[in-house]
Amino acid sequence: MNSNETPRVQPDPNGPVGPVDSSLVPRYAGPATFARLPRLDEVGTADVAVVGVPFDTGVSYRPGARFGGNAIREASRLLRPYNPAQDASPFALAQVVDAGDVAANPFNINEAVETIEAAADGILGSGARMMTLGGDHTIALPLLRSVAKKHGPVALLHFDAHLDTWDTYFGAEYTHGTPFRRAVEEGILDTSALSHVGTRGPLYGKSDLTDDEKLGFGIVTSADVYRRGADEVADQLRQRIGDRPLYISIDIDCLDPAHAPGTGTPEAGGMTSRELLEILRGLASCNLVSADVVEVAPAYDHAEITAVAASHTAYELTTIMARQIAASRTA
Ligand SMILES: [Mn+2]
pLDDT in tens, 254-297: 999 999 999 999 999 999 999 999 999 999 999 999 999 999 99
**pLDDT band at residue 3 under the 50/70/90 scheme:** low
- Percent of the chain whose pLDDT exceeds 90: 96
- Cβ 163 vs Cβ 186: under 8 Å: no
pLDDT averaged over every residue in the chain: 97
Position with higher pLDDT, 102 vs 1: 102
CB atoms within 10 A of CB 33: 21
Q: How far is the CA of 166 from the centre of ligand 1 (A)?
A: 11
Integer CA distances (angstroms), 320 to 60, 77, 280, 283, 310, in order? 32, 20, 9, 8, 16
Q: How far is the CA of 151 from the centre of ligand 1 (A)?
A: 23
Q: Region 133-157: what's the mean pLDDT?
A: 98
Give residue 4's pLDDT: 60
CA distance 152 to 139: 19
Q: How far is the CA of 256 from the centre of ligand 1 (A)?
A: 14
Phi/psi at 309 (5° precision): -60, -40
- Beta-bridged to residue 130, according to DSSP, are 49, 290
Integer CA distances (angstroms), 39 to 20, 93, 299, in order? 11, 17, 26
pLDDT digits (tens, 9 = 90+) for 79-116: 999 999 999 999 999 999 999 999 999 999 999 999 99
Strand arrangement of the beta sheet that strand 129-134 belongs to: 96-101, 48-53, 129-134, 287-294, 245-251, 154-159, 189-199, 217-221
CA distance 72 to 65: 11
> Per-residue b/e over 245-267, b at no fewer than 16 CB within 10 Å?
bbbbbbbbbbbbbebbbbbbbbb
CA distance 311 to 73: 7
| 1 pLDDT more than 80 | no
Q: Region 150-167: what's the mean pLDDT?
A: 98
Integer CA distances (angstroms), 53 to 204, 296, 299, in order? 29, 12, 17
Q: What is the dihedral of CA 133, 139, 141, 142, to 10 degrees?
A: -90
Q: How far is the CA of 317 from the centre of ligand 1 (A)?
A: 18
Integer CA distances (angstroms), 153 to 127, 217, 284, in order? 18, 14, 20
The answer for residues whose C-beta is within 8 angstroms of residue 30's C-beta and 6 or more apart is 1, 6, 20
Q: How far is the CA of 25 from the centre of ligand 1 (A)?
A: 37
**pLDDT band at residue 13 under the 50/70/90 scheme:** confident
Containing 70, the helix (H) or strand (E) segment is: helix 68-75
| 2 pLDDT more than 70 | no
- Cβ 246 vs Cβ 291: under 8 Å: no
Q: How far is the CA of 202 from the centre of ligand 1 (A)?
A: 14
Q: How far is the CA of 164 from the centre of ligand 1 (A)?
A: 6
Q: How far is the CA of 103 from the centre of ligand 1 (A)?
A: 21
Q: How far is the CA of 87 from the centre of ligand 1 (A)?
A: 31
**pLDDT band at residue 133 under the 50/70/90 scheme:** very high
Terminal-to-terminal C-alpha distance of the chain? 40
pLDDT digits (tens, 9 = 90+) for 26-67: 999 999 999 999 999 999 999 999 999 999 999 999 999 999
Q: How far is the CA of 35 from the centre of ligand 1 (A)?
A: 24
Q: Region 158-165: what's the mean pLDDT?
A: 98
Give residue 331's pLDDT: 75
CA distance 261 to 242: 34
Q: How far is the CA of 128 from the centre of ligand 1 (A)?
A: 25
Q: How far is the CA of 98 from the centre of ligand 1 (A)?
A: 24
Q: How far is the CA of 181 from the centre of ligand 1 (A)?
A: 12
pLDDT digits (tens, 9 = 90+) for 239-250: 999 999 999 999
pTM for this prediction: 0.98
pLDDT digits (tens, 9 = 90+) for 168-218: 999 999 999 999 999 999 999 999 999 999 999 999 999 999 999 999 999
